[in-house]
Structure 1
C-alpha cells in the first residue's frame, strides 16, 4: 500500500465518516485512515459487544487515536451530528449477498441499501459535506459477454441484491446532480473483494477453510465461473483515492486484474495449504453470472489507481490471517 502518512498529501481526509465500519471492507478502511492521521467516526448497526464478527473486525481499531465507534442504524439514528466538520463520507454500510435477497429478507435490503442511503444523502446535503464515496458492486452489470465491463455499459442486475446496489449508487448520484447539493459523489463498483476478515460465506474464504480443515467445499455450478478478484488493500487504496477524485467523476470500476475461475481459486488454496479439497457440487444459484471482469482504464485515469496484489499473494495473506490465533480470539 502506498505511503499515505505524509501531511503534504491531499489523499487523506482530515475528518471522515465511515459507515459499515464493523464490516469487512469498512474496518480495513477505517483502520488505514485512522493510522494515517484522519479523525474517523465509524458507525455500524452491529453491536460489537453482541456480534462476534463485528468485534473481530473492529479489534485492530482498539486504541487507535482519532477513531470513535458508534453503534447506530442509519435508518433511524440522528445522522447530522456524525457529519459535523467532515471532509468526506465513505458509505459502505448495507446488506450484501445475492442468495438471501430473493426471499422475505428483501425488505431488509431495501431498508439498508436504499432507504438508509436516502437519509444519509439528505444529511450530507444539509451538512454540506464535500464528498461522498459510495460502495457499489460489479453485480449491477449482470450477465455479460465475457469481456470487460465499462462504466458506460447498460446495467442488467440479475438479483434483487444487485437491483438495490444499482438503486443505491444512482440515488447518491441523483442527489449530487441537484443544484442545491454541494456534496459530490463517486460510486465505486467493487469486483469480488477478498482478503483477511472476508465474510465466511464468500468463495475465497470457503476454499481456504476447506483446504485448511479438510472439510468439504460446496461448489455451485461447474467452477468455470470467472471473477475479477480484488485484494482488500487495493480496495482501500482506491476508496481513499476516490475522496480526492475530480468532482464530475461519477462511476468507477475497481477490479483487481486477477481474473480467475473458481477452479483456479481451489487450485491455489490446495497449493497454499498442501492439502486436497473434497468438493461437493451443486446446481448454479439464481443471480450468479458466468463472468465479471472490470475494464480498468477509468480507475487508472481518474483515480490514478491500479491493483498491486495478485491472487496467489492475496490468498496467502488471507490464509495466514485465518490461521493466526488472534483471528480466532480477537474481541
Structure 2
C-alpha cells in the first residue's frame, strides 16, 4: 500500500515553533525565519535573564517583529498551547555533547532528547501540525569506512549521546508512520555545524580561541580525525527547506562537503590569525569516531539544497564574530 502522505507538500510557513531557540542553531534559525516574515514562537528552558549563553544567542532577536519568546521546559510545560496554529515545529531542543553522555548526566540526555521529544510529538499530533523537523546528528552513523555516509547505511552509534539522537529521530518517524497521525516528519542529520556563536566546547571555536588568545589548545587524539564541517548559514537554509519538503522526505544528511582533518582546522586558524597555536596532545576520547562525511545527494534531490560556504570562509566569519567586542560564543 502506498504512503498516503507521499505526494503531499506542506503549505508555505506562516507560523513556526522553534524549540531550543536559545541555542546555537536555534537562535540562528529563529532569526532567519523572522527575516522571512514568519511568526516564531521560540521555546527554551534557558532564559536570557538567568543564562549568559542564552542572552548572547537571543540578543539578535530582541525587538524583532513576530518573535514570541517562551521560557519553558518541554518536559512539564503545556505543550499544546505552544503549537496553536503552527505550520511547522522545528524541534532543536536537546542536550548536546559526546563526552558528558558517558557519565551520570546520561539521565538528562534521556529526559531532554527522548522524553521531551515524545511530549512534543504527541502535542504536534493532537494539534494537527502539518510538519515537524527534528534535529538529529551524524553521530548516529558511528564508526564508518571513511567514505560518505548514506541515509540508508547501517547505524552503529558509538556514544550514549548518539544513541539518544537515534532514538529521538526514530521516535518521531514512528509517530509519523501511523495512519492517524497528521504530522509528517523530516529528520536532519547535521554534520558538525560551526559558525558565529558556536558552543565553546566545539573544536573550531576552541581552535580559533586558542589562536586569538594564545591559550593552549588541547587536542584529543593525533589530529588526523576528519569531520564534515557545515557552516551555520548552510545548515539554516537546509532546515528551512525541510519545513516545506514533500511528506515522504524522511531522513536527510546535512553536510558541508568539507571533510577536513583537525590538523587542517588548526592550520587554517593559524593562517587566518597569523599566530602559532600551542597544541597540547591528549588521549582520544571515548565515542569520538575517526571520520564523518556526508553523502548529500538526498538533500539535493528532496530539499533542493547544497552547501555553499567553504571551511576557510566559514572559519573567517566565525573568527570575525569572536573578535567583535560585544560578541562571544554561546551554547
Q: Any residues of structure 2 matched to 1:187-198 within 5 Å, and which?
A: 187-198=187-198
Residue aligning to 2:25: 25
Change in CA separation of 1:190 and 1:328 when aligned onto 2, cut-off 3 Å? closer
CA contact (8 A) 1:93 1:112 kept: yes
CA contact (8 A) 1:216 1:278 kept: yes
Matched, 1:52 2:49: no
Residue aligning to 1:41: 41
**Residue 327 of structure 2 aligns to a residue in which SS?**
helix
Residue aligning to 1:5: none
Residue aligning to 2:181: 181
**Residue 101 of structure 2 aligns to a residue in which SS?**
helix
Residue aligning to 1:302: 302
**Residue 327 of structure 1 aligns to a residue in which SS?**
coil
Deviations 1:242-284 (A, max 9, x none): 0111101110000000110000000000000110000000000
Shift of 1:11: 8.5
Change in CA separation of 1:155 and 1:83 when aligned onto 2, cut-off 3 Å? same
Residue aligning to 1:225: 225
Q: Which runs of 4+ in 1 moved over 4 A?
A: none
Structure 2 unaligned regions, length at least 5: 1-9
TM-score by length of 1: 0.96
Distance in 1 between the 2:91 and 2:51 partners? 21
CA contact (8 A) 1:11 1:240 kept: no
Distance in 2 between the 1:172 and 1:329 partners? 30
Distance in 2 between the 1:329 and 1:132 partners? 28
Shift of 1:180: 1.0
Residue aligning to 1:96: 96
Distance in 2 between the 1:153 and 1:302 partners? 18
Shift of 1:161: 0.1
Residue aligning to 1:68: 68
Matched, 1:278 2:278: yes
Change in CA separation of 1:224 and 1:68 when aligned onto 2, cut-off 3 Å? same
Residue aligning to 1:238: 238
Change in CA separation of 1:328 and 1:176 when aligned onto 2, cut-off 3 Å? closer
Shift of 1:12: 5.5
Residue aligning to 1:78: 78
Distance in 1 between the 2:329 and 2:73 partners? 26
Residue aligning to 2:208: 208
Distance in 2 between the 1:235 and 1:141 partners? 19
Shift of 1:13: 1.1
Shift of 1:325: 1.2
Change in CA separation of 1:96 and 1:139 when aligned onto 2, cut-off 3 Å? same
Residue aligning to 2:4: none
**Residue 315 of structure 2 aligns to a residue in which SS?**
helix
Distance in 2 between the 1:174 and 1:55 partners? 35
Matched, 1:316 2:316: yes
Aligned-residue CA RMSD (Å): 1.2
TM-score by length of 2: 0.96
CA contact (8 A) 2:194 2:204 kept: yes
Shift of 1:327: 0.1
Shift of 1:326: 1.8
Change in CA separation of 1:329 and 1:209 when aligned onto 2, cut-off 3 Å? closer
Shift of 1:35: 1.3
CA contact (8 A) 1:18 1:89 kept: yes
Change in CA separation of 1:168 and 1:280 when aligned onto 2, cut-off 3 Å? same
Distance in 2 between the 1:32 and 1:312 partners? 23
**Residue 276 of structure 2 aligns to a residue in which SS?**
coil
Shift of 1:63: 0.5
Distance in 1 between the 2:58 and 2:51 partners? 11
Distance in 2 between the 1:126 and 1:326 partners? 42
Deviations 1:52-89 (A, max 9, x none): 00000000000000001110000000000110000000
**Residue 247 of structure 1 aligns to a residue in which SS?**
coil
Matched, 1:128 2:122: no
**Residue 136 of structure 1 aligns to a residue in which SS?**
strand
